[in-house]
Structure 1
Amino acid sequence: MAALTINKVVSAARETFKTILSDKTVLMEHLQKLKICCNEIKASDLNITAGVTQELFSSSSRPADRKPPVSYMHLYEDEGVSMGVFFLRGGSRIPLHNHPNMYGLCKVLYGTINVQSFSPIVKDNNLDIPEFNEFQQQEGRPTTPRELLTPTKHYVTDNVTSDSDVCLLLPDVGNCHELKAVDGPAAFVDILAPPYAPDEGRDCMYYKLLTAKKGGDIKWLLEIPPPAEFWTDEIPYTGPEIK
């Protein structure tokens, strides 16, 4: 039964994201079917128990302050889609980042994850850049280059558990997000399509949410280097064979 569940998800994901190249008019219909499949998956289907995260981090030979805040378990990848599981230590987070021209689905396996996401706005050079609390202004001009700023609309902030519906992100909806483990460790299945590929313009960029002095509906994100406190290691998959 476990092998059937994970392979059903993989098969649905492959079929869904073929439509990116062939027929986008039916993509949303396929995405809804894929969401239904993903909602069925449980940690036990991947041979993952609620104690795996604790054992994973406590068994590391590295000092406590050098254990990764997040670990990754690779499940499947082809040219159209990638799948894996992220394990977060209690209180750890995957910093605010984007998925350029990509689709994504996240299904929590156990624990609680706070998701904060933003939808990018088409950049407009005529859009006034406000003053930010984080920076000093010089001669009435912002000190941050416009090309490092991304205007967005706040999409959602919510706590998500294994009982929650799959989180879905689109190229223009909820595409930038941060995920934080709440009240203990957590894990979630992550499906991305197409996979990250820097040479094809799909590089992962990290951001900081800025605070405009006068508020407003537009939320500005500042592109930053990968946060030094965030890194991952990879752990082996020991669940049913994925075909």
Structure 2
Amino acid sequence: MILGSLRRYLSMRHQNSNKVQTLYDHCNNIFSSFQTHPPSSQALQKLASILDTVQPADVGLIEENADDDRGHGFFGINQLNRVARWAQPITYVDIHECDSFTMCMFCFPTSSVIPLHDHPGMTVFSKLLYGSLHVKAYDWVEPPCIVESKGSGFSQVRLAKLSVDKVLTAPCETLVLYPKHGGNLHCFTALTPCAVLDILSPPYREYEGRKCTYYHDYPYSAFSTGNCPARETPTICEDEAEEYAWLAEIETPDDHYMRQGKYAGPVPR
């Protein structure tokens, strides 16, 4: 009986290791030459399918107590008062990083927030491993519609369209964002303790023009498109206004901080 239990344990360890290794191998295969040969849509779909099968134990995680509410809670205070909700540290766990892609995890306590930020020229896969997470994401309106913003504290704002605004609860499908669509600028808010496995390609590299920039979003009614060139001004009906927002670039929020965590899962080779 003991021998049988040991075999089952070793078999589970082997399967978990294989799943992480499969992720790594596929990423290495499709992203290693991204500058000259961008991955095909089929290859990206396969990666999303692999991620859909990943469970917390596969990457060395134990699901936290869903009742552990260590923050204000998503509905505990004014939703517009985001700074007050950025009170709990988020744990960042590095799994693998190279010149072509990054594999990492973010472990959120309840009510913690990764504020609205972009992924310039990047494709990002986000797999919710456990818990519930609110996702709000935008894409830039093209051609760019930029308004000078005198007196608001920001030099200018740029028009974006809402792409995603929903609550995810694990298990669920992997979210994918692309350089120009799918919600390249997004914000994550933890409704319960949760964890997200991310794959980013290419990775953030400031010296290569891929700097992470943070934004504050304003309702469409806050600014006028009157200063935009006519050819760059989209036609927006009144009932569509809620689908658009003006984004202003901001400094990294002072209350947004992360702590480094140690990866406890199988290491890809």
Please state how far the C-alpha of 1:33 moved relative to its aligned partner: 0.6
- 1:63 — aligned with what? none
Bigger drift between 189-198 and 44-53 goes to: 44-53
- 2:265 — aligned with what? 239
Report how many residues are paired. Answer: 221
Please state how far the C-alpha of 1:82 moved relative to its aligned partner: 0.3
- 1:199 — aligned with what? 207
| Bigger relative contact order (CA 8 A; separation at least 6) | 1
Distance in 1 (alpha carbons) for counterparts of 2:64 and 2:250: 34
- SS of the equivalent of 2:221 reads coil
Letter in structure 2 aligned against 1:145: S
- 1:22 — aligned with what? 36
Higher Cα radius of gyration: 2
In structure 2, the CA distance between the partners of 1:176 and 1:2, relative to structure 1 (3 Å rule), is same
- SS of the equivalent of 1:117 reads strand
- 1:186 — aligned with what? 194
CA contact (8 A) 2:64 2:193 kept: no
Please state how far the C-alpha of 1:145 moved relative to its aligned partner: 2.1
Letter in structure 1 aligned against 2:46: K
Distance in 1 (alpha carbons) for counterparts of 2:100 and 2:35: 9
CA contact (8 A) 2:65 2:193 kept: no
Distance in 1 (alpha carbons) for counterparts of 2:167 and 2:105: 18
CA contact (8 A) 1:42 1:109 kept: yes
Distance in 2 (alpha carbons) for counterparts of 1:218 and 1:159: 19
Within the candidate set 230, 234, 240, 2:256 is matched to: 230
RMSD of aligned residue pairs (Cα, Å): 2.7
Distance in 1 (alpha carbons) for counterparts of 2:194 and 2:116: 17
- 1:62 — aligned with what? none
Within the candidate set 102, 109, 115, 2:135 is matched to: 115
Q: Could you tell me the TM-score, scaled by structure 2's length?
A: 0.75
**Structure 1 residues 79-132: Cα deviation after superposition (integer angstroms, max 9, x where no partner):** 1000111011101110000000011000011101111110112354xx4739xx
CA contact (8 A) 1:116 1:177 kept: yes
Please state how far the C-alpha of 1:22 moved relative to its aligned partner: 3.0
- 1:165 — aligned with what? 173
Please state how far the C-alpha of 1:53 moved relative to its aligned partner: 9.8
- SS of the equivalent of 2:246 reads strand
In structure 2, the CA distance between the partners of 1:87 and 1:23, relative to structure 1 (3 Å rule), is same
Letter in structure 2 aligned against 1:157: D
Distance in 2 (alpha carbons) for counterparts of 1:105 and 1:115: 13
Distance in 1 (alpha carbons) for counterparts of 2:146 and 2:202: 33
CA contact (8 A) 1:53 1:87 kept: no
In structure 2, the CA distance between the partners of 1:85 and 1:43, relative to structure 1 (3 Å rule), is same
Within the candidate set 191, 204, 213, 2:221 is matched to: 213
**Structure 1 residues 127-152: Cα deviation after superposition (integer angstroms, max 9, x where no partner):** 4739xxxx8x66xxx76423xx2321
